[in-house]
Amino acid sequence: MPGAEEGSHMGAADFRVGGRIFATLASQSQGYGNLMLTPEQQAEFVAEQPDIFVPIAGGWGRMGATHIRLAAANEDVLEGALRAAWKVRVEKNARTGSKKRTAQVSGGLKSKRRGKR
């Protein structure tokens, strides 16, 4: 997965692309990994393999955050799920990155015109 890096968030391993998290091991002590999917992907994964995929409780889960039961997932399932979460993050980064760059450029120009920086 191009650009993927391992990091740490609140003491747990995480996996990022473009500096943004797409998977974590924050629930590893309970036997889960966490994936940042879309709500639609989450519904598909859970419907197809409810013994492996479980929505995370609360608001994060409603936004697509999903547990993967590490002991139940074989390598192919784990790799496919990680790849899906990575792709979601790459696509979100592409959408939000262009908006941020535009805002930074125009904000920077306005500040310079006013003599502020």
Q: Is the pLDDT of residue 88 over 50?
A: yes
Please give the share of the chain, as a percent, with pLDDT higher than 70.
82
- Domain count of the fold of the chain: 1
Q: Is the pLDDT of residue 70 over 60?
A: yes
Report the CATH number at residue 16.
3.90.1150.30
The pLDDT-based confidence of 112 (bands split at 50, 70, 90) is very low
Q: What is the mean pLDDT of the chain?
A: 85
Task: Give bridge partners of residue 65 from the DSSP assignment.
Answer: 36
Is residue 115 included in any domain, yes or no? Answer: no
Return d(Cα 4, Cα 21) in angstroms, integer.
9
Is residue 102 included in any domain, yes or no? Answer: yes
Task: Give bridge partners of residue 60 from the DSSP assignment.
Answer: none
Q: Is the pLDDT of residue 113 over 50?
A: no
Q: Is the pLDDT of residue 83 over 90?
A: yes
Two tokens, residue 40: 């639609």
Is residue 116 included in any domain, yes or no? Answer: no
Q: Give the C-alpha distances (Å, rounded to integers) separating 39 from 7, 43, 44, 101.
A: 25, 6, 9, 27
Two tokens, residue 60: 């994060």
Q: Is the pLDDT of residue 104 over 50?
A: no
Is residue 57 included in any domain, yes or no? Answer: yes
Domain that holds residue 58: 4-106
Q: What is the largest CA-CA distance in the chain?
A: 60
> Within 13 Å of residue 73, how many CA atoms lie on the same side as its CB?
24
Is residue 23 included in any domain, yes or no? Answer: yes
